[in-house]
Structure formats: structure tokens, C-alpha cells
Amino acid sequence: MTVVHVMLGTVNPDAAAARTWWDTVMDGGPVGFIIIALSIIALALCIVHFIQIRRPTLLPAQQLKEVDERLLAGDIEGATAYCMDPANDSFLTRVLSAGLSRYQASAFGVFEIKNAIEEAGQDQAARLYRSTDGLGVIGTISPLLGLLGTVIGMVGAFESMSMSGGSNYEQLAANISMALVTTLMGLALAIPCVALFTWFRNRIDALASEAGREVERLVTHLESGAVAGSNMAPAMGARTG
């Protein structure tokens, strides 16, 4: 609105100085309030992702230590029960519980555990990816909402010009202001959302790769002679019996 007044040579310096950011937001109209609502949702999603997508949450050091010690001691059942305990729920325990369960249930568990762990790891990583989709959707539709506000504002501007014969400068300025403000708000929301969406995705990739290395290290305990012998001997005896 102020820009139009400047162009017309009727700007009031006191009025311009009195405007606040809230006045600018109000110029966005209904579309602007939709963008504000999406920005609040995006902020909440970012906080949740910052809490969930981090190493202490996905790969707790205490859980790694506990499972490592149990597998080294040959306590396969104890390690499986620990991973399946809801109190120990994490990316690590979900992947390991799938592998250890397959290891115990099958006569060829040593050969199947890696496939089971790989499938579980891909499933858990996909779940994390899907959890970030909301942020990606907001980052995608925000510029479109800004464009919608721009179109609505320009349509209103031309309507006000046609109805007033080009003399209703205040209504014309209000419509143009709505067009520009909604575009600004849409881009201001979309840019950080897209950037954070990409960062979270890359963070998931990095943590999933790290989890894969840790799980592979733990699986080597099962492939070692001591643990394999303590587990396979009873299984062979049960089959021959």
C-alpha cells in the first residue's frame, strides 16, 4: 500500500512509520492466515524431527552397550527379549529384534539374519522418511498459496479499477498489497521448509548408514565360533531328536 502511495506522490511519512509487521501480515488476507497456520504446523514438525532424528534417539549408546554385552556372552534370548521390550524401543532395537527373531526361529538363522536385518532397516528408514513428508508438502504448497494470493489480489485490483474508473487508489493499493504480501509469505515459509526437509532426509541417510555399521558389528558376534556353537548345537540336537 505504501509503495503505491509513493508512486502516486501521496505518501504519509507518519503513517508509513506507524505500520508494523502485523499490519503487513493482515494485508495478506485469508490466504495469508492459511500460510501462517501452515508455518505453525511446520515449526511443530521441525521441533519433533529435531528431537527424533538424532543419534541418541535412534542409536542409544546404552542400548548398543547392553546388546553388545549380551551377544558377546552368548545370551541370544536375552538380547532378543531386550530388543523387543517396549521400554527399549528405538531404531536400533527394532532392526535387531527382527534379525534376532529370525535367527532363533530358523535352522539357517546365521544365513538369514542379514536379510532380515536389511529388510527391517529399510522399513524403519522408510518410516523416518515418511515422517518428514509433511514438511516437504508444506514447502511445496506454500509458494502455490502465495501465487494464489497474488492472483486474488490482482483480480481484485483490476475489479476495483474497472468499478471506480481508476480513481479508487486505496482499494487498488490494498489489492496489490495483498498480492505482494502473500507471495512474500509463501516464499518465506517455503525456503526454510525445503531446506530443512532436505537436511532431515540427509540426516536420516547418515544415521541409517551408521546404524547399519553398528548392527553389522553386532552380527559378527553371532557368526563367531563361540556364539554360533552355543546356539547351533542345541538346535541341531533338537532336529536330530
pTM: predicted TM-score of the whole model, two decimal places: 0.74
H-helix segments, 106-168: 109-131, 133-164
Q: Which three cell numbers stand for residue 64?
A: 548398543
How distant is the alpha carbon of residue 117 from its chain centre? 23
Q: What is the pLDDT of residue 216?
A: 86
Distances (CA, A) of 154 to 3, 172, 175, 178, 201: 15, 9, 6, 8, 37
Q: Give the number of other CB atoms < 10 A from CB of residue 97.
A: 23
Per-residue pLDDT of the chain (241 residues; tens, 9 = 90+): 343 343 334 444 444 456 676 666 676 778 889 999 999 999 999 999 999 999 999 999 999 999 998 888 888 889 889 999 999 999 999 998 888 888 877 766 666 788 888 888 899 999 999 999 999 999 999 999 999 988 887 877 777 667 765 556 676 677 777 778 888 899 999 999 999 999 999 999 999 999 988 888 888 877 764 344 444 444 434 434 3
